Amino acid sequence: MPSAGTAQRMAPMPGSDARRPLLAYTVLGALALVLTAWCWTMQLPAAQWWGAVLRPQLDDPQQLVFHFSALPRALTAILAGAGLGLAGLLLQQTLRNPLASPTTLGLEAGSQLALTIVLVAAPGLLVLGRPVIALAGTLLALGFVMICAARNRFSSVALVLSGLVAGLFCGALTIALRLLNQEYVAILFLWGGGALAQQDWSAPAALAPAIGLLCLLAALLARPFELLSLDEENARALGVPLGLVRGAGLLIAALLTAVVTAHVGVIGFVGLAAPQIARLSGARRFAARLILAPLTGALLVLAVDAIVGLLEAAGIIDLPTGAATALLGAPLLLWLLPRLRRTEPPSTQRSLVTGSRDRTRLLPGLAVLLVLAAIGALLIGHGSAGWRLISPGDFALVEPWRAPRASIAALAGAMLATAGLLLQRISGNPLAAPEVLGIGTGVAFGMALSMILGQTTGLATHTAAGAAGGFLALFLVLMVGRRSGFAPDQVLLTGLALSALLDVVIVAFLALGDPRAPQVLAWMAGSTYYADWPKVLTTAAFAALLLPSALALTRWLDIVPMGLVTARALGLPVETSRLAILAMASLLTSVAVMATGPLTFVGLAGPHMARLIGLRRAWSQILGSVLIGALVMVVADALARTLIAPRELPTGIVAALIGLPYLIWQLGRRAH
């Protein structure tokens, strides 16, 4: 049955494809070197390179720039890529989850939050240096993850969920602070995207010994990390202290992330893609991947940074390197993904479920809470005189503004939570979520492209372009997934790679300084501001069709987690059921994202909240996810509208800020 241990399901396919990884590394290495050399020749003639390296002429600006900027930038790219590649490998090996990375586990989000808080609330602390502040934020996020996981005996699922919560909370708070203080935190945009520009040798001088020492520690622990590939029972039988080894792996990965992020900013995709590319290259043993993952990360970042430098030198666009790493990493990952073959791991789906009984008696209570929340959202407001209850005579005045927002928030929350549940049940992966399919990024890509190409087009055109982008992403993901029989691991990784690739266009749009960029940013954070009755009725029509159809899949959803062999023995058409469930999740996501934007928290954590209150069967989890997703979004929309009136916060951000404390409490309660 699928489980959080999906990293171990993937093995390279034998046969004629054995030469493909060697070709991939040869091409990637040659490309990195050629692009870097090309970039350098635009700064200094090749004949002067050696002299500029050893003894630059102080009266020659070109040699000084080459010596103190170009060379340390290239070395920083290599070190940063290697460090993040190793961090991602350790996380994926420790947690046995192919979606684990410094980004998904909240380590990078912790550093961003710390810098944002200092810049907004205590700028005097900047005298300590940006690296120190970022390191403190990363370690605080790690501390939270370790405390939560310790109460659950450092199980892999507990570590993943704890990191997920930390990342969501830090990310939501960071976005809220930036939206409220845009004039103060604009300087963090380039850093948040991973800017490698250097003015001296201080960054590589700090990175080299730190990353070297952490690489040595990882190498010394290679054998215990290798044994984590086994299931927990066999690993314990061989004397592996699972809690200690997992804690060590998480600590080394966090320190690597903190050191790199503190000096160069966030370079997100490398930590996810580099270990996967190393695995797909045929490195089955951890010791081999321990070499190839850092090498892959180093070559990826070096090549992409050279491309960014060439674009900047040509005057085309100034992109952060971290945001552009998907330019090479995503196509390479997509090219290698078809080499995967499937093997079935032991079942751990039950580890995501609380209790031994299906607590369906909670469903009527959730429905009552949803109704009360909707009534409160319509009747309670905040004006110049503070909070007040709307009188019946005034209700007609506010109904056209409040009712559509609350309605579309509830519909979008219900659909995204259901989509997340479908993906988590079919894959057994607690990190599976609607945005992992890449549809939300596809919609944002379509909208951003429409704004770039059509300066005068209206909201209807942007919406249509967003829909086209979302369905194009869905088509590409399903086309690639078809070659693997719609295996969940490959579909999720395909969606992540495609999402990262399309995200480059969105970041480029934001980097251009277009005045409409804040509108796209607010929409991506989840906004109900533009809701009206026509949009509500259209969304409700799709929801009325799709949500009952999801309930019709409950038999398949109950059987699929039992494992491939059991499912086939029971007569389940595995490929057909996978396609149907993935298509349903994709359609639910597309409609919801078009209505309100990608509400990350609801689609990712809503199903966990349904499980943690004791819902076990597929039908009860679907109904619970629908009610919880709608409830959280209705309350979030009301608070987003009133907390800082007359200004507003994005509904998706508020949903994360009010829902995550409950999820944290449930995780702690579950430990007992």
- If asked whether residues 357 and 334 sit together in one domain, one would say no
Strand partners, 381: 388
- If asked whether residues 197 and 280 sit together in one domain, one would say yes
Strand partners, 386: 383
Averaged pLDDT for residues 532-536 = 89
In a domain, 369, yes or no: no
Query: At CA 264, angle to CA 258 and CA 268, rounded to 5?
Result: 70
Helix or strand (DSSP H, E) at 383: strand 380-383
In a domain, 1, yes or no: no
- If asked whether residues 154 and 133 sit together in one domain, one would say yes
Q: Binning pLDDT at 50, 70 and 90, where does residue 156 land? A: low
> CA–CA separation, 394 vs 76, rounded Å?
62
In a domain, 144, yes or no: yes
Q: State the residue range of the domain holding 262.
A: 6-10+17-351
- If asked whether residues 332 and 357 sit together in one domain, one would say no
Last residue of a domain, one of 302, 319, 351: 351
- If asked whether residues 417 and 305 sit together in one domain, one would say no
CATH of the domain at 340: 1.10.3470.10
- If asked whether residues 448 and 308 sit together in one domain, one would say no
Q: Scanning the structure block, which residue is given the tokens 């602390």? A: 125
For the segment 70-125, what is each residue's pLDDT rounded down to a tens digit? 899 999 999 999 999 999 999 888 887 777 788 777 788 888 888 888 888 888 88
Contacts 24+ apart (CB under 8 A), 481-486: 481/582, 483/338, 484/337, 484/338, 484/340, 484/342, 485/342, 485/574, 485/575, 485/578, 486/575, 486/578, 486/579, 486/582
In a domain, 129, yes or no: yes
Q: Binning pLDDT at 50, 70 and 90, where does residue 33 land? A: very high
In a domain, 368, yes or no: no
Last residue of a domain, one of 351, 382, 403: 351
The helix/strand/coil state of 388 is strand
158 in Cβ contact with 149 (< 8 Å): yes
Mean pLDDT: which of 293-297, 603-607, 647-651 is highest?
293-297
For the segment 369-428, what is each residue's pLDDT rounded down to a tens digit? 999 999 988 888 776 666 777 777 677 777 888 899 999 999 999 999 999 899 888 877
- If asked whether residues 154 and 43 sit together in one domain, one would say yes
Q: Binning pLDDT at 50, 70 and 90, where does residue 516 land? A: low
- If asked whether residues 418 and 501 sit together in one domain, one would say yes
- If asked whether residues 298 and 385 sit together in one domain, one would say no
- If asked whether residues 319 and 384 sit together in one domain, one would say no
Q: How many DSSP H helices and E strands does the chain contain?
A: 30, 4
- Residue scoring higher pLDDT (323 or 347): 323
- If asked whether residues 311 and 443 sit together in one domain, one would say no
Last residue of a domain, one of 318, 351, 384: 351
What pLDDT is recorded for position 456? 53
Give me the number of domains the chain comprises.
2
CA 435 to chain centre: 8
* Nearest residue to 538 via CA among 591, 501, 465: 591
- If asked whether residues 540 and 638 sit together in one domain, one would say yes
- Residue scoring higher pLDDT (89 or 529): 89
Question: What pTM was estimated for this model as a whole?
Answer: 0.74
